[in-house]
Chains A and B, each alone.
Chain A
Amino acid sequence: MKPEEHGRRQQELAGWPVTIETYKLGAVYHCTIANVDPGARFARADGATREEAESRAIEKATRYLAQTRKFEV
């Protein structure tokens, strides 16, 4: 099968830049979210539509990112 509707974009979530990648394989949309630096994938979700997959992944990502603490250096 060929992945369809593949897209990658950067945006900010909870104050952190992230990369959101989504594609459709068969009938399922797969969405993964990675921090821009260092580039680790930390949230993902599937859905029947792009919007469903992305909103689920974004909800998880936002929750995880809110737990990241910053310290003064």
Chain B
Amino acid sequence: MATQTLPSVLVTTDWVAQHATDAAVRVVEVDVDTTSYDQGHVPGAAGWNWTTELCDTLVRDIVPAKKLEELLGKTGIDNKTSIVLYGDNNNWFAAWAFWQLKIYGHEDVRIMDGGRKKWLAEGRDLSTDKPSFPAKTYKASGPDLSLRAFLPEVQQAVAGKKAALVDVRSPQEFTGEILAPPGLPETCQRGGHIPGAKSIPWGKNCNEDGTFKNLDELKALYAAQGITGDQPVISYCRIGERSSLTWFTMKHLLGFKDVRNYDGSWTEWGNLVGAPVEKP
């Protein structure tokens, strides 16, 4: 369903404009700014709120399987639906949703290359209507925890150097000069990075228009830091959404075999008593 020039997990804005309302396709917007959907979205697209619908709202965790099944069902998605995700900030939380859908085994999930930024820049139609969908039954599988890193695995990676760590935050967060992206609340007690982590800011994956760079550029970007896919890789950021975009790049664009997203990220590591921190 994607154009031949894109990996199968990406679709173009053109493709979405032509297929957004196809019965076998469901387009879903997932934004950092949860009000973006209400400011106009791709006509026919559903909107998911990452703060309430793509997480466990009691325990800090990804969305529980049953809750995801209910969300997908009420969005008119069954196990055979092609899900196309997009969002603001070059698809940060679209990638977060993609990562969780893969954990729960959804086969056909894709990202609209360029996300909301490109759609807007191209002056394409926007709708403020909230579509309703005929309910469907969804059955999650998994969870496939080979896609997710927990604290003990990260600690082992630091101690044994058996997995590479990729810090995708900004250089100022990596060095500890700031504790959170400018304008956002500080959510950690210490600044810096996990010892041994390589700094590859997420934005380096993308072109100015929000699309992903081509595969040669991406391969060179990671190879320059010694990340070639020959060893396991763990990506992290602050809460796990930027790093899910990097996880997507390494796992689904570059095809690295063992890539995990550490969603505990710096809000876990940077608050741990006694955890080693490297600066700058």
Contacts and interface: CB of A to CB of B under 8 A. Distances in A.
Contacts of B279: 73
A62 B241 CA distance: 25
A51 B175 CA distance: 37
A40 B183 contact: yes
Contact of A68 (B90, B123, B124, B182): B182
B55 interface: no
Given A73-B175, A73-B280, A37 B170 contact: yes
Interface in B112-132: 120-121, 123-128
Interface in A3-21: 3, 6, 8, 16, 18, 21
Interface string B147-186: 0000000000000000000000111110111111111111
B125 A23 contact: no
Contact of B182 (A3, A21, A35, A44): A35
A6 B123 CA distance: 8
Nearest to A66: B183
A38 B32 contact: no
B191 interface: yes
A35 B89 contact: no
B201 interface: yes
A3 B118 CA distance: 13
B120 A3 contact: yes
A40 B202 CA distance: 12
Contacts of A18: 182-183
A42 B203 CA distance: 17
A37 B203 contact: yes
Interface in A22-47: 23, 25-26, 30, 32-35, 37-44, 46
Contacts of A1: 40, 125-128
Interface in B204-237: none
20 contacts: A1-B125, A3-B126, A21-B120, A25-B39, A32-B88, A33-B183, A38-B202, A38-B242, A40-B181, A41-B33, A41-B36, A42-B183, A44-B33, A44-B35, A44-B39, A46-B39, A68-B182, A71-B177, A72-B177, A73-B279
The 7 closest A-B pairs by CB, nearest first: A42-B183, A64-B183, A35-B182, A38-B170, A37-B170, A30-B39, A16-B182
Given A44-B35, A69-B186, A71-B179, 8 more contacts: A1-B126, A1-B128, A3-B120, A16-B182, A32-B36, A38-B203, A44-B33, A61-B183
